[in-house]
Amino acid sequence: MTGNAATGRLSILGMGPGDPELMTIKAARILRESPVVAWFCRHDRPGHARQIAGDMLPERAKTLRFAYPFTTEIPVSDPAYLVRMATFYDECAEHIAGHLQNGQDVTLLCEGDPFLFGSAMYVFDRLHERFACTVVPGITAMGGCWSTARQPMVHGDDVLCVIPGTLDEATLTTWLERADAAVIMKLGRNLEKVRTALRHAGREERAIYVERATQPQQCWMKLTDMTGPAPYFSIILVPGREDAR
Ligand SMILES: C[S@@+](CC[C@H](N)C(=O)[O-])C[C@H]1O[C@@H](n2cnc3c(N)ncnc32)[C@H](O)[C@@H]1O
Protein backbone atom coordinates (compact mmCIF):
# COMPACT_ATOMS: atom_id res chain seq x y z
CA MET A 1 0.00 0.00 0.00
CA THR A 2 1.58 3.29 -1.05
CA GLY A 3 -1.33 5.51 -0.01
CA ASN A 4 -2.94 8.36 -1.85
CA ALA A 5 -2.62 12.11 -1.45
CA ALA A 6 -5.99 12.45 0.25
CA THR A 7 -5.27 10.22 3.21
CA GLY A 8 -2.65 10.54 5.91
CA ARG A 9 0.34 8.30 6.57
CA LEU A 10 0.68 6.15 9.66
CA SER A 11 4.23 6.19 11.07
CA ILE A 12 5.03 3.59 13.71
CA LEU A 13 8.15 4.62 15.59
CA GLY A 14 10.43 2.43 17.68
CA MET A 15 11.46 4.69 20.58
CA GLY A 16 14.21 2.48 22.01
CA PRO A 17 14.57 1.08 25.54
CA GLY A 18 14.36 4.29 27.58
CA ASP A 19 17.26 6.71 27.05
CA PRO A 20 15.93 9.30 24.56
CA GLU A 21 19.40 9.44 22.98
CA LEU A 22 18.84 5.86 21.83
CA MET A 23 16.00 6.96 19.54
CA THR A 24 16.98 6.96 15.86
CA ILE A 25 17.46 10.26 14.01
CA LYS A 26 14.65 9.21 11.67
CA ALA A 27 12.20 8.54 14.53
CA ALA A 28 13.08 11.90 16.12
CA ARG A 29 12.52 13.76 12.83
CA ILE A 30 9.13 12.15 12.17
CA LEU A 31 8.03 12.73 15.77
CA ARG A 32 8.94 16.43 15.67
CA GLU A 33 6.87 16.86 12.48
CA SER A 34 3.81 14.94 13.71
CA PRO A 35 0.38 16.58 13.83
CA VAL A 36 -1.16 13.62 15.69
CA VAL A 37 0.76 11.42 18.14
CA ALA A 38 -0.62 8.22 19.68
CA TRP A 39 0.69 5.74 22.24
CA PHE A 40 -0.45 2.87 24.45
CA CYS A 41 -0.19 2.89 28.24
CA ARG A 42 -1.48 1.38 31.45
CA HIS A 43 -4.58 3.22 32.66
CA ASP A 44 -2.69 4.68 35.66
CA ARG A 45 0.63 5.49 33.92
CA PRO A 46 1.73 8.08 31.37
CA GLY A 47 3.21 5.42 29.07
CA HIS A 48 6.85 4.38 28.60
CA ALA A 49 6.99 5.40 24.91
CA ARG A 50 5.43 8.80 25.72
CA GLN A 51 7.97 9.38 28.47
CA ILE A 52 10.83 8.61 26.09
CA ALA A 53 9.41 11.14 23.61
CA GLY A 54 9.54 13.81 26.33
CA ASP A 55 9.51 17.34 24.98
CA MET A 56 10.20 16.16 21.42
CA LEU A 57 6.45 15.87 21.10
CA PRO A 58 5.34 18.99 19.19
CA GLU A 59 3.41 21.39 21.43
CA ARG A 60 0.55 21.69 18.98
CA ALA A 61 0.24 17.97 18.26
CA LYS A 62 -3.08 16.31 18.96
CA THR A 63 -2.44 13.41 21.34
CA LEU A 64 -4.21 10.05 21.43
CA ARG A 65 -3.53 8.18 24.69
CA PHE A 66 -4.79 4.62 24.44
CA ALA A 67 -5.07 3.14 27.95
CA TYR A 68 -5.29 -0.67 28.08
CA PRO A 69 -8.60 -1.86 29.56
CA PHE A 70 -6.56 -4.17 31.84
CA THR A 71 -2.96 -5.36 32.19
CA THR A 72 -2.43 -8.29 34.57
CA GLU A 73 -6.01 -8.59 35.89
CA ILE A 74 -6.92 -11.18 33.20
CA PRO A 75 -4.28 -13.82 32.38
CA VAL A 76 -3.13 -14.11 28.76
CA SER A 77 -4.33 -17.75 28.77
CA ASP A 78 -7.96 -16.68 29.51
CA PRO A 79 -10.04 -16.66 26.27
CA ALA A 80 -11.67 -13.41 27.48
CA TYR A 81 -8.25 -11.75 27.27
CA LEU A 82 -7.98 -12.14 23.50
CA VAL A 83 -11.59 -11.12 22.86
CA ARG A 84 -11.42 -7.96 24.97
CA MET A 85 -8.00 -6.94 23.68
CA ALA A 86 -9.14 -7.48 20.07
CA THR A 87 -12.09 -5.14 20.67
CA PHE A 88 -9.76 -2.58 22.26
CA TYR A 89 -7.32 -2.71 19.33
CA ASP A 90 -10.24 -2.47 16.84
CA GLU A 91 -11.37 0.74 18.55
CA CYS A 92 -7.85 2.20 18.68
CA ALA A 93 -7.25 1.39 15.00
CA GLU A 94 -10.55 2.98 13.97
CA HIS A 95 -9.76 6.08 16.00
CA ILE A 96 -6.44 6.40 14.17
CA ALA A 97 -8.13 5.58 10.83
CA GLY A 98 -10.49 8.53 11.38
CA HIS A 99 -7.53 10.93 11.42
CA LEU A 100 -5.85 9.24 8.45
CA GLN A 101 -9.08 9.44 6.43
CA ASN A 102 -9.17 13.18 7.14
CA GLY A 103 -5.74 13.51 5.56
CA GLN A 104 -3.82 13.83 8.85
CA ASP A 105 -0.59 11.92 9.39
CA VAL A 106 -0.56 9.91 12.61
CA THR A 107 2.52 8.81 14.53
CA LEU A 108 2.26 5.83 16.86
CA LEU A 109 5.01 5.57 19.49
CA CYS A 110 6.27 2.19 20.65
CA GLU A 111 8.91 1.33 23.25
CA GLY A 112 11.87 -0.63 21.92
CA ASP A 113 11.21 -1.97 18.43
CA PRO A 114 7.57 -1.92 17.26
CA PHE A 115 7.59 -5.44 15.83
CA LEU A 116 9.00 -7.20 18.90
CA PHE A 117 6.13 -7.82 21.34
CA GLY A 118 4.83 -4.33 20.51
CA SER A 119 1.14 -3.32 20.71
CA ALA A 120 1.70 -1.24 17.58
CA MET A 121 1.64 -4.50 15.59
CA TYR A 122 -2.07 -4.88 16.29
CA VAL A 123 -2.71 -1.45 14.79
CA PHE A 124 -0.40 -2.20 11.86
CA ASP A 125 -2.28 -5.46 11.14
CA ARG A 126 -5.58 -3.61 11.04
CA LEU A 127 -4.52 -0.57 8.98
CA HIS A 128 -1.56 -1.27 6.72
CA GLU A 129 -3.68 -2.45 3.78
CA ARG A 130 -5.86 0.67 3.94
CA PHE A 131 -3.27 3.40 4.53
CA ALA A 132 0.33 4.23 3.72
CA CYS A 133 2.47 3.08 6.59
CA THR A 134 6.09 3.64 7.63
CA VAL A 135 7.71 1.51 10.32
CA VAL A 136 10.85 2.89 11.93
CA PRO A 137 12.84 0.23 13.81
CA GLY A 138 14.03 0.88 17.33
CA ILE A 139 16.76 -0.39 19.64
CA THR A 140 15.21 -3.28 21.54
CA ALA A 141 14.93 -3.53 25.30
CA MET A 142 17.17 -6.62 25.22
CA GLY A 143 19.86 -4.65 23.34
CA GLY A 144 19.58 -1.92 25.96
CA CYS A 145 19.86 -4.55 28.70
CA TRP A 146 22.94 -6.42 27.47
CA SER A 147 24.72 -3.14 26.68
CA THR A 148 23.88 -1.77 30.12
CA ALA A 149 25.13 -4.96 31.78
CA ARG A 150 28.14 -5.01 29.41
CA GLN A 151 27.30 -8.63 28.73
CA PRO A 152 28.27 -10.21 25.37
CA MET A 153 25.45 -12.60 24.45
CA VAL A 154 25.97 -14.68 21.31
CA HIS A 155 29.23 -15.70 19.69
CA GLY A 156 29.77 -17.74 16.52
CA ASP A 157 26.93 -20.18 15.96
CA ASP A 158 25.25 -19.72 19.37
CA VAL A 159 21.46 -19.71 19.07
CA LEU A 160 19.61 -16.94 20.92
CA CYS A 161 16.09 -17.62 22.14
CA VAL A 162 13.75 -14.75 23.11
CA ILE A 163 11.22 -16.08 25.60
CA PRO A 164 8.16 -14.39 27.12
CA GLY A 165 8.04 -15.02 30.87
CA THR A 166 4.28 -15.51 30.56
CA LEU A 167 4.81 -19.11 29.30
CA ASP A 168 4.14 -21.96 31.72
CA GLU A 169 7.03 -23.37 33.72
CA ALA A 170 7.43 -26.60 31.73
CA THR A 171 7.54 -24.75 28.38
CA LEU A 172 10.00 -22.21 29.77
CA THR A 173 12.24 -25.04 30.99
CA THR A 174 12.17 -26.77 27.60
CA TRP A 175 13.23 -23.64 25.74
CA LEU A 176 15.90 -22.82 28.32
CA GLU A 177 17.40 -26.29 28.05
CA ARG A 178 17.54 -26.00 24.28
CA ALA A 179 18.87 -22.47 23.72
CA ASP A 180 22.58 -21.55 23.86
CA ALA A 181 21.65 -18.04 24.97
CA ALA A 182 18.30 -16.70 26.11
CA VAL A 183 16.49 -13.47 26.88
CA ILE A 184 13.43 -13.71 29.11
CA MET A 185 11.04 -10.76 28.84
CA LYS A 186 7.80 -9.76 30.60
CA LEU A 187 9.00 -10.73 34.07
CA GLY A 188 6.91 -8.90 36.70
CA ARG A 189 4.83 -11.45 38.57
CA ASN A 190 6.37 -14.26 36.45
CA LEU A 191 9.77 -13.90 38.13
CA GLU A 192 9.59 -16.83 40.57
CA LYS A 193 8.24 -19.19 37.90
CA VAL A 194 11.07 -18.14 35.55
CA ARG A 195 13.61 -18.61 38.33
CA THR A 196 12.37 -22.16 38.90
CA ALA A 197 12.51 -22.94 35.17
CA LEU A 198 16.10 -21.61 35.01
CA ARG A 199 17.06 -23.82 37.95
CA HIS A 200 15.47 -26.89 36.35
CA ALA A 201 17.30 -26.14 33.10
CA GLY A 202 20.61 -25.72 34.97
CA ARG A 203 20.92 -22.09 33.85
CA GLU A 204 20.23 -20.08 37.01
CA GLU A 205 23.87 -19.51 37.97
CA ARG A 206 24.72 -17.64 34.75
CA ALA A 207 21.50 -15.63 34.55
CA ILE A 208 21.69 -11.85 34.85
CA TYR A 209 18.77 -9.70 35.95
CA VAL A 210 18.47 -6.20 34.37
CA GLU A 211 15.91 -3.60 35.39
CA ARG A 212 14.92 -0.36 33.58
CA ALA A 213 17.97 -0.48 31.32
CA THR A 214 19.26 2.82 29.89
CA GLN A 215 17.06 4.80 32.28
CA PRO A 216 18.28 6.76 35.33
CA GLN A 217 16.96 4.05 37.75
CA GLN A 218 18.64 1.18 35.87
CA CYS A 219 20.26 -1.67 37.80
CA TRP A 220 21.57 -5.15 37.08
CA MET A 221 22.95 -8.07 39.07
CA LYS A 222 23.35 -11.82 39.05
CA LEU A 223 19.87 -13.30 39.30
CA THR A 224 20.98 -15.29 42.34
CA ASP A 225 21.68 -11.96 44.12
CA MET A 226 18.27 -10.54 43.24
CA THR A 227 15.59 -10.60 45.92
CA GLY A 228 12.22 -8.93 45.95
CA PRO A 229 9.70 -8.38 43.21
CA ALA A 230 10.58 -7.54 39.60
CA PRO A 231 8.89 -4.60 37.88
CA TYR A 232 7.39 -4.98 34.42
CA PHE A 233 10.44 -3.27 32.87
CA SER A 234 12.95 -6.00 33.60
CA ILE A 235 14.67 -8.78 31.69
CA ILE A 236 16.78 -11.84 32.42
CA LEU A 237 19.80 -12.48 30.19
CA VAL A 238 21.34 -15.94 29.89
CA PRO A 239 24.56 -15.46 27.90
CA GLY A 240 25.73 -18.08 25.42
CA ARG A 241 29.28 -19.40 25.47
CA GLU A 242 31.62 -17.60 27.86
CA ASP A 243 34.45 -15.28 26.84
CA ALA A 244 35.33 -16.52 23.35
CA ARG A 245 39.01 -15.45 23.18
C1 LIG B 1 5.66 -5.53 25.58
S2 LIG B 1 7.37 -5.87 25.67
C3 LIG B 1 7.97 -4.62 24.59
C4 LIG B 1 9.30 -4.95 23.97
C5 LIG B 1 9.84 -3.89 23.05
N6 LIG B 1 8.98 -3.67 21.92
C7 LIG B 1 11.25 -4.22 22.56
O8 LIG B 1 11.53 -4.08 21.37
O9 LIG B 1 12.08 -4.58 23.38
C10 LIG B 1 7.74 -5.22 27.25
C11 LIG B 1 8.91 -5.93 27.92
O12 LIG B 1 10.12 -5.38 27.43
C13 LIG B 1 11.08 -5.38 28.47
N14 LIG B 1 11.58 -4.02 28.65
C15 LIG B 1 11.19 -2.92 27.98
N16 LIG B 1 11.97 -1.86 28.31
C17 LIG B 1 12.87 -2.32 29.21
C18 LIG B 1 13.96 -1.73 29.90
N19 LIG B 1 14.27 -0.43 29.73
N20 LIG B 1 14.70 -2.50 30.73
C21 LIG B 1 14.40 -3.81 30.91
N22 LIG B 1 13.38 -4.42 30.28
C23 LIG B 1 12.63 -3.69 29.43
C24 LIG B 1 10.43 -5.97 29.71
O25 LIG B 1 10.71 -7.34 29.78
C26 LIG B 1 8.97 -5.73 29.42
O27 LIG B 1 8.17 -6.64 30.13
From ligand 1's centre to the CA of 233, what distance in Å? Answer: 6
Please report whether residue 2 resides in a domain.
Answer: no
Whether residue 188 is found in the same domain as residue 78: no
Please report whether residue 245 resides in a domain.
Answer: no
Q: How far apart are CA 201 and CA 177, in angstroms?
A: 5
pLDDT confidence of residue 75: 73
Give the β-pairing of 181-185 and 160-164. Answer: parallel
Note the helical H segments in the chain.
25-32, 48-53, 79-101, 120-127, 141-148, 169-178, 191-200
Going residue by residue through the chain (245 aa), what tens digit of pLDDT does each one get? 555 569 999 999 999 999 999 999 999 999 999 999 999 999 889 999 999 999 999 999 999 999 998 776 677 778 888 899 999 999 999 999 999 999 999 999 999 999 999 999 999 999 999 999 999 999 999 999 999 999 999 999 999 999 999 999 999 999 999 999 999 999 999 999 999 999 999 999 999 999 999 999 999 999 999 998 999 999 999 999 876 66
Q: How far apart are CA 3 and CA 18, in angstroms?
A: 32
Whether residue 131 is found in the same domain as residue 38: yes
pLDDT confidence of residue 234: 98
Tell which one of 210, 234, 236 to mutate to probe ligand 1, the residue whose CB is within 8 A of the most ligand atoms: 234
Whether residue 206 is found in the same domain as residue 99: no
Whether residue 51 is found in the same domain as residue 95: yes
Instruction: Indicate which CATH number applies to the domain containing 220.
Output: 3.30.950.10
Give 157: exposed, middle or buried? Use CB within 10 Å, 0-12, 13-18, 19+.
exposed
Domain tally, the chain: 2
Domain that holds residue 150: 142-238
Please report whether residue 173 resides in a domain.
Answer: yes
Atom number, ligand 1, closest to the C-alpha of residue 17: 19
Whether residue 169 is found in the same domain as residue 128: no
Q: How far apart are CA 12 and CA 31, in angstroms?
A: 10
Neighbours of 75 (CB within 10 A): 9
Please report whether residue 52 resides in a domain.
Answer: yes
Residue after which a domain boundary falls, among 87, 122, 139: 139
Question: In the structure, which protein residues have their CB atom closer than 6 angstroms to any atom of ligand 1?
Answer: 17-18, 111-113, 116-118, 140-141, 144-145, 185-187, 210, 212-215, 232-235
Whether residue 29 is found in the same domain as residue 127: yes
Whether residue 88 is found in the same domain as residue 199: no
Residue after which a domain boundary falls, among 103, 124, 139: 139
Q: Are 109 and 27 in contact (CB under 8 A)?
A: no
Whether residue 81 is found in the same domain as residue 197: no
Q: Are 131 and 10 in contact (CB under 8 A)?
A: yes
CA distances from 193 to 169, 186, 235, 236 (A): 6, 12, 14, 13
Whether residue 130 is found in the same domain as residue 13: yes
Tell which one of 235, 236, 237 to mutate to probe ligand 1, the residue whose CB is within 8 A of the most ligand atoms: 235
Q: Which residues is 200 bridged to in the sheet?
A: none
Residue after which a domain boundary falls, among 120, 139, 158: 139
From ligand 1's centre to the CA of 58, what distance in Å? Answer: 25
Whether residue 186 is found in the same domain as residue 108: no
Whether residue 179 is found in the same domain as residue 65: no
From ligand 1's centre to the CA of 28, what distance in Å? Answer: 20
Instruction: Indicate which CATH number applies to the domain containing 35.
Output: 3.40.1010.10
From ligand 1's centre to the CA of 105, what distance in Å? Answer: 27
Q: Among 235, 194, 209, which residue's Cα sits nearest to residue 111?
A: 235
From ligand 1's centre to the CA of 72, what distance in Å? Answer: 16
Q: How far apart are CA 20 and CA 225, in angstroms?
A: 29
